[in-house]
């Protein structure tokens, strides 16, 4: 068995008990279906032929038996429908949990090349049909196998010649089903890819709705959506074409079986080999025989739908995280904050040009370092290597003289506070967003962090204070307010290392001053990296590093770098001309 199929069947393991009961109920229900035509044949052959029974007792006993069987069948079908579906829902829960846990482990390099809507589609749409397959697949196969084999044995006892004629169609039907199943599987995989594109487009359009409306470009978004929607319809038409061939072909085979039986039986009746009563029973059992064929038709469609979802699910699981803990990764008893870059080079996966080349840098614990330089020289990239958002291509980075690749990833990131220009706030309350820095924090600790970040006053002015809902991505707050909440979040986290990535460049002067004060308060006694676009915000830094395409080309204080009249002085003159 292939690793993929082993993985497919592994999700049944926690539910073997309920699966066994589900299949037992399916077998019992199938058995009852097989018995009913036999009872009718017995009544017609033994009780309705002269001489008729003197009393109604035999009829009553058979009626009671059939009622009891109906009750048993009812409870079996209820178990299959209710508990079987619950089992499928629980398996869907397990699949979705595993997939979400896996994508949390993937590094930035994966998300750099993915659309959010496509990832969401794999977590939601792809798994629904898969769980239907997990639930219905085994029971449909078992019921079909039981009814086919049972009806075959019973029909053989009635007339083996007619039975062989009926079952001679089976190999042709299975070959036909196999051929079109393969076609449908490819078509369903294409459908899933197209619906993922639609989801990605919707997510992109809704996330950027303010930009869309500001440019009055609703018609462009509608056009893009219609284009993706049209491609999805074309993909569905292709899958429906093969599905139509499949269904109509199986139905045609079923009709041909009836035709073959009637023609053959007519000849056998004329020669006295079959009586009319046996023919009626035979036709009843052909219906029982065709029922599992119909189930197999439905199963074929369901199987391809579900398996195409599992293919995409498994494909994502096979993407290994490229940044993981080393085998003997450690945590540090105490983090001082000494950071050193030794001959560090970095290029993004799939590219051939180094963003950083042989960078050497020492930053002492508690030191405040500013990074400046033209756009695209790797300032943000350099800082992103410290929490291992990306892995260095060459060289090494150490924290307190230990290679960060030897430190447990979660522990390393817990020691680093990041404040970015593009603040991300979650839908929910102010309290929940600040508490994200330390989920177990008390309300008092949250308020203390907000006060340090100069955020307490504006929070208390909100309609519900700390319980105010701030909307998706904090749309109800100003840029300065959002930035102060993000700083409060880091205050609460209380890490020894800070990274400010152009945290004030998008703010007005008044907001910048308030946020700058909060940042300086936060930076006290912490190792701090500040990526600055506005040079006015880092004039007081004792150590400013100037990055260019060749790496770190200048270093010194504001006054020293101005006196050198190099790149920094040129950038300063451009900003304050």
3-state secondary structure 164-228: HHHHCHHHHHHHHHHHHHHHHHHHHHHHHHHHHHHHHHHHHHHHCHHHHHHCCCHHHHHHHHHHH
The mean per-residue pLDDT over the stretch 145-163 comes to 82
Provide the pLDDT confidence category of residue 226 given band limits of 50, 70 and 90.
confident
Q: What is the pLDDT of residues 491-526, one digit of tens each?
A: 888 899 989 887 666 566 666 777 777 778 888 888
Token pair for residue 484? Answer: 């102060």
> What is residue 211's predicted lDDT score, i.e. its pLDDT?
65
The mean per-residue pLDDT over the stretch 447-467 comes to 89
The mean per-residue pLDDT over the stretch 314-337 comes to 89
Q: What is the DSSP letter of 465?
A: G
Q: Give the mean pLDDT of the chain.
A: 84
Say whether 416 sits in a helix, a strand or coil.
strand
- pTM metric for this prediction: 0.73
Buried b (16+ CB within 10 A) or exposed e, 462-483: beeebebebeeebeebebbbbb
More confident position, 273 or 241: 241
In whole angstroms, give the CA distance from residue 150 to residue 84: 24
Report, in this order, helix, strand and coil percent for the chain, each rounded to 5.
65, 10, 25
> What is residue 4's predicted lDDT score, i.e. its pLDDT?
87
Q: What is the DSSP letter of 339?
A: E
* Phi/psi at 508 (5° precision): -75, 170
Token pair for residue 451? Answer: 């006060």
**Cα dist from 55 to 48, 51, 204, 246, whole Å:** 12, 12, 78, 52
Say whether 274 sits in a helix, a strand or coil.
coil
Residues 6+ apart with CB under 8 A from 65: 39
405 neighbors 396 (Cβ within 8 angstroms): yes
Residue carrying the six token digits 């393969």: 182
Which of the residue ranges 45-54, 335-344, 464-473 would you say has the lowest mean pLDDT? 45-54
452 neighbors 518 (Cβ within 8 angstroms): yes
Say whether 528 sits in a helix, a strand or coil.
strand
Say whether 546 sits in a helix, a strand or coil.
strand
In whole angstroms, give the CA distance from residue 428 to residue 310: 33
Residues 6+ apart with CB under 8 A from 235: 187, 190, 191, 193, 194
543-548 and 551-556: which strand pairing?
A: antiparallel
Query: What domains sit in the chain, N to C, each tagged with a CATH number?
Result: 15-317 (1.20.1560.10), 339-575 (3.40.50.300)
The mean per-residue pLDDT over the stretch 275-290 comes to 75
181 neighbors 299 (Cβ within 8 angstroms): no
Short-list 365, 289, 370, CA closest to 334:
365
In whole angstroms, give the CA distance from residue 371 to residue 530: 6
């Amino acid at each position: 068995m292939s690793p993929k199929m082993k993985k497919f069947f592994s999700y049944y393991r926690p539910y073997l008990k309920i699966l066994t009961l589900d299949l037992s109920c399916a077998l019992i229900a199938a058995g009852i279906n097989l018995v009913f035509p036999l009872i009718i044949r017995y009544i017609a052959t033994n009780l309705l032929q002269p001489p008729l029974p003197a009393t109604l007792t035999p009829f009553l006993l058979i009626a009671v038996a059939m009622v009891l069987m109906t009750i048993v069948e009812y409870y079996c079908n209820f178990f299959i429908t209710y508990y079987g579906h619950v089992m499928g829902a629980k398996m869907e829960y397990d699949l979705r949990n595993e997939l979400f846990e896996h994508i949390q482990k993937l590094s930035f390099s994966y998300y750099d090349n993915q659309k959010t809507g496509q990832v969401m589609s794999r977590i939601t749409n792809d798994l629904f049909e898969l769980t239907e397959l997990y639930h219905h697949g085994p029971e449909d196969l078992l019921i079909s196998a039981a009814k086919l084999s049972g009806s075959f044995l019973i029909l053989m006892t009635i007339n083996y010649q007619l039975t062989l004629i009926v079952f001679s169609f089976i190999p042709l039907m299975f070959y036909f089903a196999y051929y079109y199943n393969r076609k449908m599987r490819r078509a369903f995989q294409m459908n899933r890819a197209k619906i993922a594109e639609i989801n990605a487009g919707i997510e992109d359009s809704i996330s950027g709705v303010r930009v869309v409306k500001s440019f009055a470009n609703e018609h462009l978004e509608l056009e893009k959506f219609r284009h993706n929607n049209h491609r999805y319809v074309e993909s569905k038409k292709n899958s429906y074409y093969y599905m139509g061939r499949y269904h109509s072909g199986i139905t045609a085979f079923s009709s041909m079986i009836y035709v073959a039986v009637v023609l053959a039986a007519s000849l056998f009746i004329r020669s006295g080999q079959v009586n009319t009563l046996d023919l009626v029973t035979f036709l009843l059992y052909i219906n029982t025989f065709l029922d599992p064929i119909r189930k197999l038709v439905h199963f074929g469609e369901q199987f391809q739908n579900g398996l195409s979802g599992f293919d995409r699910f498994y494909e994502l699981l096979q993407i290994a995280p490229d940044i993981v803990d080393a085998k003997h990764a450690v945590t540090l008893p105490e983090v001082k904050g000494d950071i050193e870059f030794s001959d560090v080079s970095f290029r993004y996966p799939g590219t051939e040009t180094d963003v950083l080349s042989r960078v050497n840098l020492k930053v002492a614990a508690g030191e405040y370092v500013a990074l400046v330089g033209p756009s695209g020289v790797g300032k943000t990239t350099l800082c992103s290597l410290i929490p291992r958002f990306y892995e260095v291509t060459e060289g090494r980075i150490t924290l307190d003289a230990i290679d960060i690749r030897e430190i447990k990833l979660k522990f390393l990131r817990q020691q680093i506070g990041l404040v970015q220009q593009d603040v991300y706030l979650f839908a929910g309350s102010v309290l929940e967003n600040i508490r994200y820095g330390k989920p177990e924090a008390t309300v008092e600790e949250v308020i203390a962090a907000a006060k340090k970040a100069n955020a307490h006053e504006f929070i208390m002015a909100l309609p519900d204070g700390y319980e105010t809902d701030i909307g998706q991505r904090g749309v109800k707050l100003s840029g300065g307010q959002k930035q102060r909440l993000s700083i409060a979040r880091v205050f609460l986290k209380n890490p020894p290392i800070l990274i400010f990535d152009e945290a004030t460049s998008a703010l007005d002067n008044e907001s910048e001053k308030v946020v700058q004060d909060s940042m300086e308060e936060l930076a006290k006694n912490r190792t701090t990296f500040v990526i600055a676009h506005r040079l006015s915000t880092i004039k007081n830094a004792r150590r400013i590093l100037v990055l260019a395409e060749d790496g770190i080309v200048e270093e010194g204080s504001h006054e020293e770098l101005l006196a050198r009249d190099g790149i920094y002085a040129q950038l300063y003159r451009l900003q304050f001309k």
